[in-house]
Every structure is written in C-alpha cells, then in structure tokens.
Structure 1
C-alpha cells in the first residue's frame, strides 16, 4: 500500500501533464486549420474582391472555429510585406480587458494582387488546471497564446 502511495502522485502528475499538453496541441491544430481556410480566401482574392472589413473578416473566421474555441479569445491580424523575409514574426504583447478577453488592435491590410500577405491568428487558450509543477502558460492567469500563421503571395485576381 505504501508503494502505491509513493508511485501514485508522480504517475498522476505525468498523466495530467500529458493530458494538458495534448489538449493544447489539439487546440493549436484546430487554430492552424482555421488559419489555412481563412488564408485561402485572401490568397484567391475573394476577401479583397468582396471588400470585406476587418470585423466581417473576423466574423467569417469565427464561423469556422471549432466549438471548443471561443471567438472572444481570438485576434486576427492581416498585413502585407514586400518580401517573404519581411513577414511579421514577432509575438505581440497581449492586453486584456475587464472580462479577460484580449483587447489588442491588430493590422488589417489585405494587399493587392501579387502581393505577399501574412495572416496571423492569435488565440488566448485557457489551460486546464494542472499543478504539480507543470506549467505550459505563456500569459498570466494560466493562459497560453496560440499562434497560427499563413504567409502567401496572392493570386493575380481581378
């Protein structure tokens, strides 16, 4: 019985750590799928041709989010760059409102035909409570910033 008590705590810690890690990667993959779908509409020029505003674009992106991701925790950034090396790669400092949702303003520049456009989705993921010394959070309050990025040269749409 004492042997079980000595092994139980480390065993449960490993199980909970594996579960927390797998849930985080699952959420990240869901966000990557949404980014690929949203980037396709920019790549083909469908978003630009329809003169979609930033709010409308975010609503379209939110409509494709999996049910386990909330639109209130999502930030959408679209910007163009002169070359692929100049695409945005820095992680923004996230600020939060009183309700705990991110309040940052992000760029929204869809670019023109043949330009390089970077789509970045930032999602504030609330991590499951797993103590025992295992911490995946990158933000205060047990949250992690998930980032999905798609960089492409837009087609010559008209």
Structure 2
C-alpha cells in the first residue's frame, strides 16, 4: 500500500503522498492517556461534586439537630417561659447558635408546640398553600411535653443531585430537626 521514497514521503496506492511525520503521528500512542483522562474527567467530576453536595446536606442536617437540642434547653429549663420571651426572641436565640451554614432570617422556621403525651406527637410538618411550614410558639409550662422543630429549606445546587436529594417538584430539601422533651419543674 505504501511505497517509500527518499524525500521522506510515502506514496499511497492512489498516487497521493503522505508525509512521514503524519505516519509517525498516527502510529504514536503517547496521547492515549490524555484522551482517556479527558473521557473519564466529566463523569468523575460529576460524581465528586454530587458526593460533596450530599455530604454538605448531611452535615447541615447534623448541625441543625445540634442547634435544635441546644435551643430546646431554653424552653426545657424554663428560661423561655416568661412573658417577654416570645416567638421572635426564641428565633433570635436559635439564630445566635447558627454559625455559617444557614440563612436564619430568610430560611429558618421555628415551631414550638406542647402536647398532652409523647404518643400524640405528630411527626409531619404542616405546610401552607405556598409550601412554607406552618409554625406555632407554645413553650408550655412546668412538666409539660414540648416539641421544638427547626425547619430549613436547603437549596440543592447541582441538577444531577436534585433528582435524588430535592423534595418533589422542588430544588430544595426540607431539613427538619426535632427535639421532644418534658419541661423541668422550674
């Protein structure tokens, strides 16, 4: 098929000449690793970013649980039962415990309700017509059962992760941290 010539050219059977450098380039396999890396790079980065976002959601959930437990102690010990300590002050106390992950002023919902027994506690979050949680503030009295819920709509950034982490027909995931306890006899 190829005929060699002294000028460093090869001649195809059709009569056209092919430069030697082109023949050498076609035979070389030095760039195969770079091409394979380019093929694997996009799926690798996608999986890496999805893993990082999933880990961040779990970290935020754990952080919210810690904030709920710490804030619930204000109610459990009777510090939040005086007349001047209302829902806004309790939310402010919750927001004081938030370090960096949450936008407390816009996305944090605080729900405090008293119940007659632990068996009567509902685990569902009631939503209004616009999809926001319905919140109350009733810290109860001495020896009463109280549930503190912190609710935050966490934005899911990656479209690939939204399929698995976001709530139905949404780009956010509702993180809910709950603390159920009996108030102390303060």
* Shorter-chain TM-score tier: 0.7 to 0.9
The 3-state SS of whatever aligns with 2:55 is helix
Q: Shift of the alpha carbon at 1:129?
A: 2.5
Where does the alignment leave 5 or more consecutive residues of structure 2 unmatched?
1-33
Q: Shift of the alpha carbon at 1:63?
A: 1.3
Q: Matched residues in 2 for 1:103 and 1:147: separation?
A: 13
CA offset digits 1:134-157 (Å, max 9, x no partner): 541116552111100000001011
Where does the alignment leave 5 or more consecutive residues of structure 1 unmatched?
97-101
TM-score (norm 2): 0.73
What CA RMSD, in Å, does the superposition of the two structures yield over aligned residues? 2.2
Q: Matched residues in 2 for 1:64 and 1:30: separation?
A: 10
The 3-state SS of whatever aligns with 1:118 is strand
Greater RCO (CA < 8 Å, at least 6 residues apart): 1
Q: Shift of the alpha carbon at 1:36?
A: 0.7
1:90 and 2:119 are equivalent in the alignment: no
Pair 1:86–1:38, CA change in 2 (3 A): same
TM-score (norm 1): 0.84
Pair 1:129–1:153, CA change in 2 (3 A): same
Preserved contact between residue 48 and residue 110 of structure 1 (Cα < 8 Å): yes
Max Rg structure: 2
Preserved contact between residue 31 and residue 148 of structure 1 (Cα < 8 Å): yes
